[in-house]
Amino acid sequence: MKKTLLFLSIVALCCQNTFAQKETTVISIKNTENTPTINKNIYGHFAEHLGRCIYGGFFVGDTSKIPNTAGVRNDIIAALKDLKIPNLRWPGGCFADTYHWKDGIGPKENRPTIVNKWWGGVTEDNSFGTHDFLNMCELLGAEPYLSGNVGSGTVQELSDWVQYTNFSGKSPMSDLRKKNGRTEPWKVKYWGIGNEAWGCGGNMTAEYYAGEYRKFATFISDWENTGGITRIASGSNSADYNWTEVLMKNIPLNMLGGVGVHHYAVINWNKKGDGVNYTEEQYFKTMKSALKMEELVTKHSAIMDKYDPQKKVAMIVDEWGGWYEVVNGTNPGFLYQQNTMRDAVLAGSTLNIFNNHADRVRMANLAQCVNVLQAVILTDKTKMILTPTYHIMKMYSVHQDAKLLPVSFQSPLYTVNGETLPAISASASKDKNGAVHISLVNVDAKNNNKIELDVNELGIKNVTGTIITSAKLQDYNSFETPNKIVPTVFKDFANKKGKLEINIPPFSVIMLEGK
């Protein structure tokens, strides 16, 4: 009798598991025109004077044997153009509030040096400055986003920088720009008024910073340019909702183009875990931190809605990404880390959140572009590789400036040690040519997930797919195997009478295109 009961128990358990595997998540996508456009600037990037992001990354100097244009690597320019990079934030980060822009103009041999107190205590020779950065942005076809020095700078200094970069008439700063070889202004639109004013930007209170912002913003208006410039306030540290409340309450809306938010996916700030050799539990904790972005954006948006119901002020998540321990043997102040399938899943899920909140989130900047944190590009002397995150950003570029299509579904759960997370992340859009793009992420590290989509309502018949996945969650592209993780054709779906049935492998990101 006991053997019979044991057999029946095993059969019941197997049946239960089979049933669980066959459960299908039904995703509804509304084909409506009354939706916001997904601003291309959500897909922005960040380049700080930190480690090998600028020197040894973007910038190798015009005497380098590595092919370059005015010292900037041609292979990086080509890769970022292929990524359709919409904007690039510079020079920081914490570095911004120690940076004095006049140190980085004029003949390079005459430029003073400073010590980069935030990142490794290295000597900064200022050989990469305003002209180098803004000319590079022109090569990229990207909008520059300059982060101004409020912490150790002056109102006059920042006002002069705006005049130097933007004014076409005769003035002291435009004359200086012309003397330094640039006749026409660059017309920089996006200006950050300080960075992390609550921390490395001055350890200010929200009330004090709001006053400083008003003062600085008053003197950096640009009346010559159509539409003026977009002034962006140094935003909150993750869930500091009081910071957003104080800024929205105390700064007039006509002085405020955007309010920042910074949030990194980190296991524990004191013990961040390895970038490659991590357990499933560590992966789960990283994704739990990353998916908190949904709550952060929702709650910060609710505060902004109280003071700005018409949503004129943009939320700008100008620092986001995964943060782990540095690669063994590298300078801890350089923040050089590898980039695995965990980062691909993190990027895809985060971008879905931004897309779905396109009514308020109108710019974001992945930290950082080259050789730092969740980089899209890694270099080693002459070599350059594209990371899994690069491939996600490129795959998702189809959403840039497309109309958001609202998605609704009840996600299955991903469970580790009794804790749960939503296993499925999704967003959708329709581009100007009528093509529909649906991005799907399976966060679950072990289990496939089945999804059903009604494509009849979307008016599409032909569907193709692309997937980014790998054999192991910890896989990454190395300089020895640079193409271990690349996009491939995805075919594990079937269209049955207008119902698209999709099977998503564990830790994978999929883009479907329908026409």
Give residue-wise pLDDT tens across range 79-126: 999 999 999 999 999 999 999 999 999 999 999 999 999 999 999 999
Catalytic residue among 319, 325, 419, 501: 319
**Minimal CA–CA distance to 58: which of 90, 18, 29?**
90
- For the chain, which residues make up each domain, given as ranges? 23-33+406-514, 40-401
Superfamily for domain range 23-33+406-514: Golgi alpha-mannosidase II (2.60.40.1180)
Is 143 catalytic? The answer is no
Q: How far is CA 435 from CA 45, 180, 205, 429, 513, in A?
A: 26, 46, 47, 8, 7
Half-sphere exposure of 381 (CA within 13 A, CB side): 2
Q: Check residues 22 and 500 and name the one with the higher pLDDT.
A: 500
Catalytic residue among 48, 143, 196, 212: 196
Which neighbouring-strand residues pair with 146? 90, 191
Amino acid 206 reads: A
Average pLDDT over the chain, rounded to whole? 93
Give residue-wise pLDDT tens across range 36-81: 999 999 999 999 999 999 999 999 999 999 999 999 999 999 999 9
CB atoms within 10 A of CB 271: 8
pLDDT at residue 5 is higher than 60: no
490: tokens are 């995805």
Q: Beta strands 424-430 and 230-237: pairing type?
A: unpaired
Contacts of 201 (CB under 8 A, 6+ apart): 94, 96, 97, 150, 151, 194, 195, 234
Q: Look at the block and give the residue holding tokens 């990101």.
A: 509
Q: What percent of the chain has pLDDT over 70?
A: 95
pLDDT at residue 221 is higher than 90: no
The residue-averaged pLDDT of 122-151 equals 97
The whole-number pLDDT of residue 226 equals: 52
Is 452 catalytic? The answer is no
pLDDT at residue 508 is higher than 50: yes
Helix (H) or strand (E) holding 237: strand 230-237
Give residue-wise pLDDT tens across range 116-136: 999 999 999 999 999 999 999
Taking a C-beta distance cutoff of 8 angstroms, is the pair 150, 212 a contact?
Answer: yes
The whole-number pLDDT of residue 10 equals: 40
Give residue-wise pLDDT tens across range 335-364: 999 999 999 999 999 999 999 999 999 999
Q: Look at the block and give the residue holding tokens 């299509």.
A: 405
Superfamily for domain range 40-401: Glycosidases (3.20.20.80)
CB atoms within 10 A of CB 273: 20
The whole-number pLDDT of residue 457 equals: 81
Q: What is the DSSP string of 5-16?
A: HHHHHHHHHHHH
The residue-averaged pLDDT of 266-279 equals 95
